[in-house]
Chain A
Amino acid sequence: MNLLINLLGLALIVGIVWWFWLSKRAAPAAVAPAASVIMVKDGVYEPERIQVPVHEETTLHFLREDPSPCAEYVVFADLDVNAQLAVGEETEVKLPAMEAGEYPFTCQMQMYRGTLVVA
């Protein structure tokens, strides 16, 4: 019994490390087009990876359903862009032309996390 619980505990640790770090890096989530409506709800942006064209201005569409103040702003720290999101209504966020690469976007507190894939 003791051995079983210890093994279970170790398996849990391995599972946490694998799920939250290793598998995430190995297989990033599917990339959605820039025209998608990004839902802001339950602590996640959905879709969370958005593909935008390189060297082109882009408009993203956010639909915030989480009324908590955590979700009020979306911040693109690398681009110096942020926007206040209306509750229950679509908010457009205009982004400048970008070089190829990945740019994170988050809420103010960095609890909501998403990634712009510029390619």
Chain B
Amino acid sequence: MVESKKVFSLHGASCASCVNKIETALNQVPGVIQARVNLAEKTTSVWGHVDEDACVLAIEQAGYGAELATVSDRELREQQREADQKHYRDLLWRAGLALALGLPLMAWGLITGEMSVHAPAQQIAWGLVGFATLAVLIYCGGHFFTGAWKAFRHHNASMDTLIALGTGTAWLFSMLVVVAPQLLPEMARHVYFEASAMIIGLINLGQALEVRARGRTSAAVEKLLQLQEVSARVLRNDEEVDVPVDEVQLGDRLRVRPGEKIPVDGTVLEGSSLVDESMLTGEPVPVKKAQGDFLSAGTLNKNGSLLFTAEKVGSETRLAQIIEMVKNAQNSRVPIARLADRISAVFVPVVMVIAVLAALVWFNWGPEPKVAHMLVVATSVLIIACPCALGLATPMSVMVGVGKGAEHGVLVRNGKALQQASKLTTLVVDKTGTLTEGAPKVTDLETEGDKDELLRLVASLEQASEHPLAEAIVDAAQERGIRLSTVQHFEAIIAHGVRGEVDGHKLLLGNRKLMLRENVDVDHWQAAVEALAGKGRTAMYAAIDGRAAGLIAVADPLRSDARSAIQRLKNLGLEIQMLTGDNGATADAVATQLGIDCVHAELLPEDKENIVADLQAKGGHVGMAGDGINDAPALARAEVGFAIGAGTDVAIETADVTLMRSSLHGVADAIELSRATLRNIKQNLFGAFIYNILGIPIAAGLLYPITGSLLSPVIAGAAMALSSVTVVSNANRLRLFKPSEVNA
């Protein structure tokens, strides 16, 4: 067990004597090994095995306030970036130092060819070089050796093991040549100090470049973290006070001025303004916000001043949830990586066995100098093998791919969803709210009498109904400024319509079945109803005092970009099927307008799940796009559920892919991105496999009969260092991903 460090934020500490008091109080807490106060940061660090509450109590008893300091995601990321920078400089320095020894030695060998030990003077000279190389191995490559030793003690072997064994063997052999050359045949008295130094230098250089490239893979999360505002302007006692965003409480009233970011989620109380939500939704057009509208943390207030109530703060905000989801998804495993995972688990010991076998083959059947060849082959095999390239292949692509999705308002739940989205063959789309706006409107009113009077009567009747179509009729009346009357004896007749009494008139509003049931003759209106259905509108008959009085038609307008999105999805090779509870004629009309070939109409909610299951049973890879609330079972049943809910909490929690933008283009973006990411992963995995499959036999001397020479361990080191950098750089290419068509 090791001692742990805990950091507490302090309140009320302002002078040197406070420091003494707090440190003395903490040092008396059982388990505390050391306590140190940082007055500038108002924090205290405590080392040892301690109870947090006991430390807080001790500080409070000393007369101050304290709480366990928490590191925000943003601070953590900045801290990591600083650590990366320091690590990068450190690696570059080590690489430079090792190469400063290795390069001149290699040049000496190439120019003079004198790298052998045959005389006492050479023994002394190479002995000195040997000790200089040892210093380089310890200072520049010591971490490989400690890592290898620790892994060995745990019965594990890592990349450190290969590097330590490769460079260590080369150095030990060279020192043997220096100390006791007589033990070796004359042709084998060659030293390989330059190889040890060069390998350490090149691998440090490769790791430095990798650190640089990897920093860019998390750019998307950094962008999201930057959206989080650090302070907020809260109204306290009718005064506007700037406070850290962590101190904003639920119910606080906040003010945001033009050009400022919204600090927490909330609802507008006063004012109106355009708000740029593109950073969360990918939707470029700013949205008008006024009283009662919802504001998301991280979005940008453009031109007006807004007063709003805080409804979600801290980790509860939509932005915080998005960041959390993206981070989780970036680290999730992709099924395609299973083979690489299995191989990387046994990779290093297998390579060690191959190195020993190759060395034995060269010793028994190779040409002279056999001992030197053994060493070169074993070192090259150990050094060229790169488990890191295999390990990096998938996570790097997933990091960049998931981050890129977030930039386009596409939130992927995990790597599995990302992989499955790339294989979809069929997309089932719910009509309402996905292809349409989800808010029906009255489109037609036909009567032989007064239109406004008919609308007044049916709207008065529908006031009592909870049906979405009723809302559209009431809204239409209110838009025209019509005053409604009260309804009496209201009755909703399931699957038929409604009836009631308004101003002494007996009213009926509903479908043909209702009129037949109540013996109302509607033949006169039949042709008009069929014509309206042909346009995708839902027409209802109205009857007053037992006589047909007219028609009222309601339609849910199609989303302006639905047709182009469907076309994009078809271009991706997907078969599109539409699901709806509407009648067949209306559904067919909508499908025709959008270019959808297959329609399932008049469905109950549970039917949608069955249709998805049937398609899967026929061997299809089925995705489902819906609004995330009414379609939950079907979304769950589909291989990939796309929730088009503008990022409602329900959708974020349940869907495989959440589209922050209310557009089917998001589904096309997600599928294109998943295919691009999978392609990138496959390139990486293929590259890493091929590199090792070809590299190891070449290092083992397979090409010797053709080339007449063995692969230099220095070249093996360079290849190994480059392989990881190549994988990370290839993953970074995904950052250039652009959807095929943006919002037609």
Chain A nearest CB from B199 CB (Å) reads 18
- Alpha-carbon separation in the docked complex, A116 to B1 (Å): 17
Which residues does chain B contribute within 8 Å of A110, judged by CB atoms?
341, 344-345, 391
| Nearest-CB residue, chain B, relative to A76 | B331
Q: Are A17 and B349 closer than 8 Å at their CB atoms?
A: yes
Q: Which residues of A contact B210 (CB under 8 A)?
A: 69
Given contacts A16-B349, A82-B332, A110-B341, contact A42 B147 (CB under 8 A): yes
Which residue on B lies nearest to A87, using beta carbons? B83
Which residues of B lie under 8 Å from residue A72 when comparing CB positions?
80
Residues B362-408 near A (CB distance < 8 A): 363-364, 387-388, 391-392, 395
Cα–Cα distance between A36 and B363 once the two chains are bound (Å)? 49
Report Cα–Cα, A73/B77, bound state, in Å. Answer: 12
List B contacts of A46 (CB < 8 A).
150, 154
Tell me what chain A mostly uses at the interface: helix, strand, loop, or mixed: mixed
Q: Is B630 an interface residue (CB 8 A)?
A: no
Say whether, besides A13-B356, A111-B387, A86 and B2 are in contact (CB < 8 Å): no
Closest to B160 in A: A43
Q: How far is the CA of A69 from the CA of B356 in the complex (A)?
A: 32
Confirm or deny: B682 has a beta carbon within 8 angstroms of a beta carbon on chain A.
no
The reply on A94 being an interface residue by CB < 8 A is no
- Taking CB atoms, residues of chain A closer than 8 Å to B356 are 9, 12-13, 16
| Complex interface bits, A68-112 against B, C-beta within 8 A gives 1, otherwise 0 | 110011010100101010111110000000000000000011110
B84 touches A80 (CB 8 A): no
Residues in A whose Cβ lies below 8 Å from that of B489: none
In the complex where A23-B155, A67-B83, A84-B80 touch, is A37 in contact with B327 (Cβ < 8 A)?
Answer: no
Give how many A residues have a beta carbon under 8 Å from the other chain's beta carbons.
47
| Structural contact, A2 and B395, CB atoms closer than 8 A | no
Q: Which chain B residues lie closer than 8 Å to A29 at the CB level?
A: 154-155
A19 to B150, CA, bound (A): 14
The reply to whether A20 and B392 contact each other, CB–CB distance below 8 Å, is no
A43 to B151, CA, bound (A): 7
CB distance from A86 to the nearest CB of B (A): 6
Q: Pick the contact of A9 from B76, B152, B214, B359 — CB < 8 Å? A: B359
Interface: B71 (CB within 8 A): yes
Q: Is the interface of B mostly helix, strand, loop or mixed?
A: helix
- How many angstroms between the C-alpha atoms of A110 and B328 in the bound complex? 16
Residues of B within 8 A of A9 (CB): 356-357, 359-360, 363
* Cα separation A72 to B215 with both chains bound (whole Å): 11
A63 to B7 CA separation, bound complex (whole angstroms): 13
- Count A-B pairs with CB separation below 8 Å: 132
Q: How far is the CA of A9 from the CA of B5 in the complex (A)?
A: 46
| Closest chain B residue to A69, Cβ basis | B214
Q: Is the CB of B363 within 8 A of A6?
A: yes
| A39 interfacial contact with B, CB 8 Å | yes
Asked if residues A13 and B395 are in contact (CB atoms below 8 Å), the reply is no
- 1/0 contact trace for A1-30 toward B, CB 8 Å? 010011001101100110111011000010
In the assembly, what is the distance between CA of A67 and CA of B81, in Å? Answer: 10
Q: Are A24 and B4 in contact (CB under 8 A)?
A: no
Q: Which of B80, B147, B327 contacts A43 (CB 8 A)?
A: B147
User: For the complex, what is the distance from the CA of A119 to the CA of B254, rounded to whole Å?
Assistant: 50
Q: In whole Å, how far is A7's beta carbon from the nearest beta carbon of chain B?
A: 10
Please, what's the 1-or-0 string for B1-34, where 1 marks a CB less than 8 Å from any CB in chain A?
1111111000000000000000000000000000
- Let me know if B625 is at the binding interface, CB within 8 A: no
A76 to chain B, nearest CB (A): 10
Q: How far is B331's CA from A69's CA once the two chains are assembled, in angstroms?
A: 13
Given contacts A20-B157, A109-B388, contact A42 B80 (CB under 8 A): no
A44 contacts the other chain (CB 8 A): yes
Known contacts A63-B5, A69-B211, A80-B414: A111-B158 contact under CB 8 Å: yes
Q: By the criterion CB–CB under 8 Å, are B333 and A77 in contact?
A: yes
Interface 0/1 of B426-462, CB less than 8 Å to A: 0000000000000000000000000000000000000
Tell whether B122 is near chain A: CB-to-CB under 8 Å: no
Residue from A9, A36, A90 with most neighbouring chain B CB atoms (10 Å): A9
Q: What's the nearest-Cβ distance from chain A to residue B102, in Å? A: 22
A21 touches B388 (CB 8 A): no
With an 8 A cutoff between CB atoms, is B485 at the interface? no
- Pick from B6, B152, B155: contact of A90, CB below 8 A: B6
Q: Is the CB of A89 within 8 A of B7?
A: yes
Closest chain A residue to B328 by CB distance?
Answer: A82
Is B138 positioned at the interface, with any CB of A under 8 Å from its CB?
no
Asked whether any CB of chain A lies closer than 8 Å to the CB of B223, the reply is no
Q: Give the Cβ gap from A26 to chain B, nearest Cβ, in Å.
A: 10
Give the residues in chain B near A19, CB-CB below 8 Å: 152, 155
Residue picked from A41, A73, A109, most chain B C-beta under 10 Å: A109
Chain B residues within 8 Å of A67, by CB: 83-84, 86-87
Please measure, in the bound complex, the distance between the C-alpha atom of A9 and the C-alpha atom of B370, giving whole angstroms: 14
Interface positions of A from 36 to 55, Cβ below 8 Å from B: 36-37, 39, 41-44, 46, 48
Q: Is the CB of B5 within 8 A of A89?
A: yes
**In the bound complex, do residue B2 and residue A68 qualify as a contact, i.e. CB atoms below 8 Å apart?**
no
A44 touching B331 by the CB < 8 A rule?
A: no
Q: Is A111 a contact partner of B159 (Cβ separation < 8 A)?
A: yes
- A6–B155 contact, CB under 8 A? no
| Contact partner, B391, options A21, A39, A82, A109, Cβ 8 Å | A109
B391 & A111 in contact (Cβ 8 Å cutoff): yes
Whole-angstrom distance from the CB of A46 to the nearest CB of chain B? 7
Cα distance, A75 to B3, chains bound together (Å): 23
B302-333: contact bitstring with A at CB < 8 Å (1 yes, 0 no)?
00000000000000000000000001100111
A90, B328: Cα distance in complex, Å:
20
Bound complex: CA A39 to CA B364 (Å) = 45
Please, which residues of chain A bring their CB within 8 A of the CB of B388? 109, 111
The residue that B332 contacts in the complex, of A20, A36, A80, with Cβ under 8 A, is A80
Q: Which 10 A-B pairs have the closest CB atoms?
A: A109-B391, A24-B155, A82-B331, A43-B147, A20-B349, A9-B360, A37-B4, A67-B83, A42-B147, A42-B150
- Where the two chains meet, the residues of A that have a C-beta atom closer than 8 Å to any C-beta of B are 2, 5-6, 9-10, 12-13, 16-17, 19-21, 23-24, 29, 32, 36-37, 39, 41-44, 46, 48, 61, 63, 67-69, 72-73, 75, 77, 80, 82, 84, 86-90, 108-111, 113
A sample of 18 cross-chain residue pairs with beta-carbon separation below 8 angstroms, ordered by A number, consists of A2-B364, A5-B363, A20-B349, A21-B349, A32-B1, A37-B1, A43-B151, A44-B147, A46-B154, A67-B84, A68-B207, A68-B211, A69-B87, A69-B211, A69-B215, A72-B80, A75-B332, A86-B76
